[in-house]
Structure 1
Amino acid sequence: MIERTFDSGAQNERTALAWTRTALALLLAAVLATRLAAEPLGVLAVAFGAVTAPLAVLVLLMARRRYRRAHDALHGERALPDGRLPALVTLITGLLAVLEIVYAVIG
């Protein structure tokens, strides 16, 4: 149970909210990109959506876990969470870019 913030500026809480907004934006981008590319790209666009939308939801779940781990680490003077969450966001962003390039070339 999280009882109090580590600092008065609530940096960990603000960071958690930023990760949540990022995850929701990625989910929306994945759904919209899939929808826009569905007609010209067909099955490729649907496969893209089937991969990226769950990954965006995974970002949301990982962000929540990262907040709890960071909170525990700050209060226990342990190491902060690793870079898996930023790496996953980078992967999803790269996949979105590839889909948009393919859409621009074919569509």
Structure 2
Amino acid sequence: MDAFIGAYLGVLTLPNVSDLDGELLIHVGVGRTVGIWRARHPGDARALFLFRSELGYHHHGVPRQKELLRGAFAGMHAHAHRWVYELDRTPAFYFDSITQLRMDRTSLG
């Protein structure tokens, strides 16, 4: 059995314009967190978006997913605004609800 816990996760690839190397730049707000770190590929970074919402929305339609991220992070730090701006140019994007899995047991043995 699984249970939606009221949160969403988004990850996108963007240029490493902050010149990060071995560090994570993160901003935390009420019900939302955004961060960026350098990816393994030179010149690339990954932005992580976490936010809470009772939308009950599940991962259908990339345009709607990007719209949800834009709304959730509107008015946050200028860094977050720049990272959200990359949603229309990113070569890689992931979005999903965060779900807790509940099991009676983990093995038959």
Q: TM-score normalised to the size of structure 1?
A: 0.26
More strand by share: 2
- Structure with more contact order per residue of length (Cα contacts < 8 Å, sep ≥ 6): 2
More helix by share: 1
Q: TM-score normalised to the size of structure 2?
A: 0.26
User: Which of structures 1 and 2 has the bigger CA Rg?
Assistant: 1
